[in-house]
């Protein structure tokens, strides 16, 4: 059996009881270690809590070495641990499909992820549209395909969850080209860098999917004891020191309910300004008033 087990967002004890029982019954335990991190637990603490040694599964192992993960899974239990939920922000359908093609039974144990915990900022989950990922820009690579998704969300009034890039066990282009297994230090995108990249692409595109004055909410260390929120415009948040990772951002949609705004005011430095920013932003993509069709003589 292959178990895909969600670990939750922060603590070693965030794992569900069913997930913990499964881990303790498995012969091998892998921890997916490139899409997110468990903020309040080290590898050693997890091993002690589970009573099992843990194999770190980096991108290379998961994407090209899945046969090793699935080895002997027909006759023994293997756990694949994922921070958050196995099918939350990052899905692992490829691993599941490979297991099923090999006749290996699969069981999924779900848990909290950023996709549902984001509701703790006060915005209603039903009013979220497509989620996007913001990657680190480089000198020669500044992808902006996500821009169109923000535009689509904003046109129908929905909020956009922006997941910020992390780099764990990544190689530089030079080391990769030379075949040197030297890895860069881990990097985690900040709220300010995300907002700077948003503003850069809007300036380049110029079609106002959002503007510097568009309201947003910064979410830091979601699910941990140090969880925090900051409401402001994209321009204001581009100057915001969001502290230790992990971070995400929500760009507000035009249809922002009064209760959502009331909740967000708790996180704004200038409450009245933020309220007025939301009111002004609701004019963007506002549908034209309905007028009855003009009757014509046939």
Which residues fall in the annotated binding site? 9, 85, 88, 113-114, 164, 222, 247
Contact 132, 251 (CB under 8 A): no
What is the DSSP annotation of 194-243?
HHHHHHHHHHHH-S-SS-TT-EEEEEESTTSTT-EEEEEEHHHHTT----
End-to-end alpha-carbon separation of the chain, Å?
71
Instruction: Give the CB-side neighbour count of residue 107, counting CA atoms within 13 A.
Output: 14
Print the SS3 string covering 26-93: CCEEEEECCCCCCCCCCHHHHHHHHCCCCEEECHHHHHHCHHHHCCCCCCCCEEEEECECCCCCCCCH
- Sheet of 106-109: strands edge to edge? 55-57, 28-32, 78-82, 2-6, 106-109
**Number of helices (H), then strands (E), in the chain:** 12, 12
Query: Which of 84, 72, 134 is CA-nearest to residue 109?
Result: 84
Binding positions for S-adenosyl-L-methionine: 9, 85, 88, 113-114, 164, 222, 247
Contact 251, 123 (CB under 8 A): no
Sign of torsion, CA 243 248 252 256?
negative
Using CA atoms, how far residue 280 sits from 93, 152, 283, in Å, is: 42, 19, 6
């Amino acid at each position: 059996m292959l178990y895909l087990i969600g670990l939750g967002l922060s603590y070693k004890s965030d794992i569900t009881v069913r997930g913990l029982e499964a881990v303790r019954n498995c012969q091998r335990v892998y921890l997916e270690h490139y899409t997110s991190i468990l903020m309040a637990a080290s590898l050693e603490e997890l091993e002690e809590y589970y009573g099992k040694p843990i194999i770190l599964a980096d991108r290379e192992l998961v994407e090209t070495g899945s046969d090793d993960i699935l080895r002997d899974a027909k006759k023994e239990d293997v756990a694949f641990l994922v921070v958050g939920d196995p099918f939350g922000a990052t899905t692992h359908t490829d691993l599941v499909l490979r297991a099923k093609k090999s006749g290996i039974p699969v069981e999924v144990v779900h848990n909290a992820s950023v996709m549902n915990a984001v509701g703790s900022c006060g915005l209603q989950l039903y009013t979220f549209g497509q989620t996007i990922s913001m990657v680190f820009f480089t000198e020669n690579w500044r992808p902006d395909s996500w821009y169109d998704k923000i535009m689509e969300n904003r046109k129908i009034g929905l909020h956009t969850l922006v997941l910020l890039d992390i780099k764990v066990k990544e190689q530089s282009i030079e080391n990769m080209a030379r075949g040197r297994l030297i890895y860069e230090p881990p990097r985690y995108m900040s709220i300010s860098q995300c907002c700077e990249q948003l503003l850069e692409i809007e300036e380049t595109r110029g079609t106002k999917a959002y503007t510097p004055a568009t309201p947003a909410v910064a979410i830091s260390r979601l699910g941990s004891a140090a969880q925090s929120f900051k409401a402001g415009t994209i321009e204001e948040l581009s100057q915001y020191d969001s502290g230790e990772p992990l971070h995400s951002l929500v760009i507000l949609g035009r249809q922002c309910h009064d209760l959502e705004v009331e909740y967000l005011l708790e996180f704004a430095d200038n409450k009245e300004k933020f309220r007025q920013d939301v009111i002004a932003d609701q004019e963007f993509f506002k549908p034209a008033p309905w007028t009855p069709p003009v009757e014509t003589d046939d």
